[in-house]
Amino acid sequence: MLEHAHELLDRARRLILSRVERGFEVQTKADGSPVTSVDLEVEQMLREGLEERFPEHGIIGEEFPPHNPGADYQWYIDPIDGTHSFCAGIPLYGTILALHHRGRPELGLIDLPALGERYSASKGQGAWMNGKSIQVGEGVGEPIIATADRAQFQRVGREGALDRIMLRFPHVRAYSDCFGHAMAVRGSAGAMVDFGIRAWDLAASRVLVEEAGGRYEVVHQDGDRFCVILGRPAVVQAVLTCI
Amino acid sequence: MLEHAHELLDRARRLILSRVERGFEVQTKADGSPVTSVDLEVEQMLREGLEERFPEHGIIGEEFPPHNPGADYQWYIDPIDGTHSFCAGIPLYGTILALHHRGRPELGLIDLPALGERYSASKGQGAWMNGKSIQVGEGVGEPIIATADRAQFQRVGREGALDRIMLRFPHVRAYSDCFGHAMAVRGSAGAMVDFGIRAWDLAASRVLVEEAGGRYEVVHQDGDRFCVILGRPAVVQAVLTCI
C-alpha cells in the first residue's frame, strides 16, 4: 500500500508541476478559501487510482464527498495543501496522502513538488525523506517554531496562544500547511503549531512524526477543526507549557 | 558582468548542494550568529572569481574584510543568507550577489539552491526568474506579508512595528532572509519587511524589485543595520502607513 501511495504521489507531482508551468484557474469556495482547477484534477486522479486498486477502502478528501464511509481502511487526501501559497506562486504547498485503519494512522505521506521532497512513514517501519531515514533529533540552540498563519488561530479564537508562543520563542515562523509539518518531522523546526485545521490536513502527520521519534498532541477540537502540535518531544512540551 | 555573476552563482549552487549532501561544520561567530565552513568556502570561491575577472573592483562580503574599498564598482556577497535555516535543514537559504557603481545598484542576484530558483536584475533591463521576466503585479485579495523573524525586529527595538503589521494583515509570514525578498520581487508576497539587516543582505533587492515594477524603501538605519520594505507599491504604502 505504501508503494502504491508513492506511485500515486509521483503522478500527482508531475501533474501539479505541469499545471504550474502552463497556468491554472483560481475560484473561491463557499467558505471563502481558494480552490483551483488543479486541486480538483489531482484529487480526482488520486481517487481513481485508489478506487481501482482498493475498491473496498474508503476515501475522505478535501474537494469531493466521502467514498465508502463505513470501511475499516480510510484514505485521506489533500490534493494541494497550501492552496493560498500555491495560487501566489510560493513553492511551499504540497500533497498529503494517508491511510488509517479503524481510526489508527498506518501510512502518512507529504509530497512537496516544488522542493522535490517526499516525506513518508508507515507504522513501525520508520520515517523517510527521499529514501533517507529521518529523526526529529535533539536540536541545538533556540528552536525554530513553525506555525499556521495568524488568520488560522483567529478562526478558532486562539490568537492568545500564538501571542504567547511569540513572546517565549524568538524564531517563530508562519511556515503554514504541510511544509511546516514536514519541517517539524525532519527536525528542522523544533515544533509545528497548527490551529484550526481539518482531518485531511493532519492525517499524515501523527505517524510521520511518531516514526521520526517525535510527539504529536491534539490540544483542542471544535467540530471539524483541530489544533495540533508536533515535533521534538521537549519542544512540544515547552510549547504546551507556554500556551 | 551579469553573465559572469550567473556563472559564479552556478558554481556556488553546485558547491552548496554538494556540501548539504555530505554534511558540514557549524560554528558560532562573535555576535552569536552561526557560520558554517560552507559560508567561508563559498565566499572565498566568489571572491577569487571576481578578483580574477575584475581586479580593479571592490568586494564587500559577510565573512572577510573589504577588498579595494575605494573603487567605483563594488561587489556585495552574502555566501549563505539564512544560515540559521541552512544549518537547520530548511531549504529557504540562498546566495546574494550584487554590483553597485558609486553607490548605485546596477546588478542584483539571489540564488535559492534548494529550490532551483535564480532571481536576477540589471538596471534598466528588467527582472528575471530562471529566464522568465517577472513583475510584482497587482495581486488579488489579502496579500501575504513576508517578514524577518521577531528576533530581528527586537535587535533594533522595533517589535512594535511587527505587532502593528500582524494586527493589520491576516497573512504575515516570517519568510526570513533572501527567500522573503525573492517572494516579494516575484509578487508572491505583497511585501517583504526586513528589519535589522546589513548591507550585503539588501544589496541585490533594490534593483530586483524596482526592475520588477515594485517599490523599495529604507525606513530606518541605525549604524550598519537597515530596516527595509520592498514589494508591490500599494502594499509597501499600506505597510508604511500602519507602522
CA–CA distance, B65 with A105 (Å, rounded to integer)? 54
B32 falls in which pLDDT band (50, 70, 90)?
confident
> Looking at the predicted structure, is the pLDDT value of residue B97 above 90?
yes
Integer CA distances (angstroms), A135 to A62, A161, A188, A234, B219, in order: 29, 27, 10, 14, 42
A196 falls in which pLDDT band (50, 70, 90)?
very high
Question: What is the average pLDDT across A153-177?
Answer: 93
A192: left (phi over 0), alpha (psi -120 to 50) or beta: beta
Question: What is the average pLDDT across B35-47?
Answer: 95
Pairwise pLDDT comparison (B29 vs A66), residue with the higher score: A66
Instruction: Please state the pTM of the whole predicted model.
Output: 0.94
Q: Which three cell numbers stand for residue A163?
A: 501571542
> Looking at the predicted structure, is the pLDDT value of residue A139 above 90?
no
Strands, E, within A89-142: which ranges? Answer: 94-101, 104-112, 117-122, 127-129, 132-133
At residue A105, the pLDDT reads 97
At residue B230, the pLDDT reads 98
* ipTM of the complex model: 0.91
Q: Which residues of A touch B179 (CB under 8 A)?
A: none
Chain A interface, Cβ < 8 Å to B: 26, 34, 84-85, 88-91, 114-115, 117, 140-141, 144, 149-151, 154, 166, 170-176, 183, 186-189
> Min CA distance, A27 vs chain B (Å)?
12
CA–CA distance, B48 with A68 (Å, rounded to integer)? 64
- What type of residue is B164? R
Question: What is the average pLDDT across A30-46?
Answer: 90
Contact B174 A173 (CB under 8 A): yes
Q: Which residues pair with A132 in a beta bridge?
A: A129
At residue A140, the pLDDT reads 80
CA–CA distance, B138 with B234 (Å, rounded to integer)? 9
Half-sphere exposure of A176 (CA within 13 A, CB side): 25
> Looking at the predicted structure, is the pLDDT value of residue B81 above 90?
yes
Note whether A92 and A85 are within 8 A (CB).
yes
At residue B234, the pLDDT reads 97
- Of B86, B106, B110, whose CA–CA distance to B97 is shortest? B110
Q: For the segment A233-243, what is each residue's pLDDT rounded down to a tens digit?
A: 999 999 999 99
Integer CA distances (angstroms), B190 to A218, B75, B110, B233, in order: 33, 28, 18, 9
B34 falls in which pLDDT band (50, 70, 90)?
confident
CA–CA distance, B51 with A124 (Å, rounded to integer)? 55
| Residue to test with chain B: of A129, A149, A156, most B Cβ within 10 A | A149
CA–CA distance, B47 with B158 (Å, rounded to integer)? 34
For A58, the enclosing helix (H) or strand (E) is strand A58-61
> Looking at the predicted structure, is the pLDDT value of residue B29 above 90?
no
Strands, E, within B68-156: which ranges? Answer: 73-81, 94-101, 104-112, 117-122, 127-129, 132-133, 145-147
CA–CA distance, B58 with B66 (Å, rounded to integer)? 7
Note whether B37 and B16 are within 8 A (CB).
no
Question: What's the length of chain A?
Answer: 243
Contact A144 B172 (CB under 8 A): no
- Of A35, A16, A8, A191, whose CA–CA distance to A99 is shortest? A8
